[in-house]
A and B are shown apart, each in its own frame.
Chain A
Amino acid sequence: MSEAKRLQQIRHNLERRARVYHFACVFLRGRGFLEVTTPVRVAELAPEAFITPVASEDRWLITSPELHMKRLLAAGYERIFQISRCFRKGEKGRLHNPEFDLLEWYRANAGYGEVIHDTEELIVSIADALGTGTNIIYQGQKINLRPPWPKINVREAFLRYAGWDPTANFDQQRFDTDMATLVQPKLPTEHPTVLTEYPAQAASLSRLKPGNSAVAERAEVFIGGLELANAYSELNNAAEQRRRFESEIAHIEREQGIKMPMPERFLSAVGGMPLSGGIALGLERLVMLFCNTRFINEITAFTEDNI
């Protein structure tokens, strides 16, 4: 198929994509969030074992705008959001493109529960603005978007669908494989589902649950089989964050032979950040949901294959 024909065929999806982006911003501005712009090419990144950044001369392209947005929170900005182009090396597939858009927003003096609540309202507001209503069909599945969305913690979900408890005996490889092959495909599809309380070992940049340090205040939103958003009660303990980064840096060096720098500017700011809730939502996945497409390239003008 010629390029022009392909681009014409997906035109209605690209038009809907623009509207989804627009209504997402309208919703967050309406809730008092300030739209910010942070750099795409940065000197420090959160080292994460399974996210490979793209180098750009002596800098990195961001894998998420998280560190800079938290530096704004630490400086007293209480409600902020942005849509950022992010880059993750090698992530290419039906639901992945190595460059993609994250919608991130943060609320000071809140936790992950509040930003999950924002997400419920955001998605209903976009559905209303698009005129789809809250009963949508994605890939043959009827989905009712009306909140509140059922929450299930990772321990219960794994005991039910994978037969073991990752919060008691954590095994990274088994956790990732079972999440993708056993748990995620069996989550209910008739409504969005929120997986909460990830094992402490998968806490990443979230704080551990007060009173139960085996789990982290981290949640993921799944709709119609799509992993859509990842929320944290943000960790603001600089010493604990440094220990986690050290462990990630060691893992990356061992597995990939790359020495990632410690994000010192971020660490010197994060101790001053109020307890906050933050979330990163994959906008392409949200557009796929509202366009009812199975492949990310049906809602993307130019993917890795044709740039």
Chain B
Amino acid sequence: MKIEDVKKNVKLLYQGKPWNVDTAEFVKPGKGSAIYRLHLKNLLDASVLDVTFRSADKVDEASITNLEMQYLYKEGAHYVFMNTQNFEQTLIPEDLLGDKVHFMKEGLLANVQLWDDKATDVSIPVFVELAVVETGTAIKTATVTAQNKSAKLETGYFIDVPSFIKEGDLIKIDTRTGAYVERLSTKK
């Protein structure tokens, strides 16, 4: 593609590696030639690079695919996902998932971005439902203010929850913030 058409969040193949364009700036002295300054982020290792191009330069777009995949199980430092279309399995390193590992429950559906069959990003739903497996009792006080306490979820993640949450309750969590949203059902 032409450098003139490169916008923020376009994926480029540069020096054999895939990059996201974090910022693209057009710089031009009034009478001089145009320069395009790109701030790139490596899709594989998140390293960053500043590069300068000139008018009429050509760059290669990275061939990126997005697939729906289902999380199956953890194997060492990898998470095994399955393509829901053809059932092929892909190993995704823990590092790529970052904080999302807290919400990896078997069967979770995710959107996996792939470059050259390598996973470069994983998006999970904004809200997930997880069961509480362990929680202590909150300290009772005279105020009506909701008391928070710590709870362990089925994925091993610890979260602050209101005092009325019990073991076995199913709760909704915002994966962007990692915070409790609401109780969905309670164990009778």
Bound form: Cα–Cα A264–B38 in Å: 41
Q: Kindly list chain A residues whose C-beta atoms are within 8 Å of the C-beta of B55.
A: 90
Are A94 and B30 closer than 8 Å at their CB atoms? no
B184 at the A interface (CB under 8 A): no
Contact with A along B39-60 (1 / 0, CB 8 A): 0000000000000101110000
Are B34 and A202 closer than 8 Å at their CB atoms? no
**Of B10-18, B20-28, B101-109, B123-131, which binds chain A?**
B20-28
B32 at the A interface (CB under 8 A): yes
Say which size band chain A's interface belongs to: 20 to 34
Are A90 and B30 closer than 8 Å at their CB atoms? no
Bound form: Cα–Cα A202–B27 in Å: 18
Contact A48:B25 (CB < 8 A) given known A90-B4, A173-B54? no
Are A90 and B33 closer than 8 Å at their CB atoms? no
Contact A172:B27 (CB < 8 A) given known A90-B4, A177-B52, A181-B52? no
- Chain B nearest CB, measured from A281 CB (Å): 11
Name A residues whose Cβ lies closer than 8 Å to a Cβ of B: 48-51, 90-94, 96, 172-173, 175-177, 179-181, 184, 202, 204, 220, 227, 230, 255, 280, 282
Are B26 and A180 closer than 8 Å at their CB atoms? no
By DSSP majority rule, is chain A's interface helix, strand, loop, or mixed?
A: mixed
With beta carbons under 8 angstroms apart, the residue of A92, A93, A96, A179 that contacts B32 is A179
Q: Kindly list chain B residues whose C-beta atoms are within 8 Å of the C-beta of A91.
A: 26, 28, 34
Contact A204:B31 (CB < 8 A) given known A92-B26, A93-B26, A96-B26? yes
Bound form: Cα–Cα A215–B77 in Å: 64
Are B33 and A173 closer than 8 Å at their CB atoms? yes
- Chain A nearest CB, measured from B6 CB (Å): 12
- Chain A nearest CB, measured from B22 CB (Å): 15
B29 at the A interface (CB under 8 A): yes
Are B26 and A176 closer than 8 Å at their CB atoms? no
Are B31 and A180 closer than 8 Å at their CB atoms? no
Are A50 and B32 closer than 8 Å at their CB atoms? yes
B122 at the A interface (CB under 8 A): no
Supply 9 A–B pairs (Cβ within 8 Å), ascending by A: A50-B28, A51-B31, A90-B34, A92-B26, A175-B32, A176-B29, A180-B27, A204-B31, A230-B30
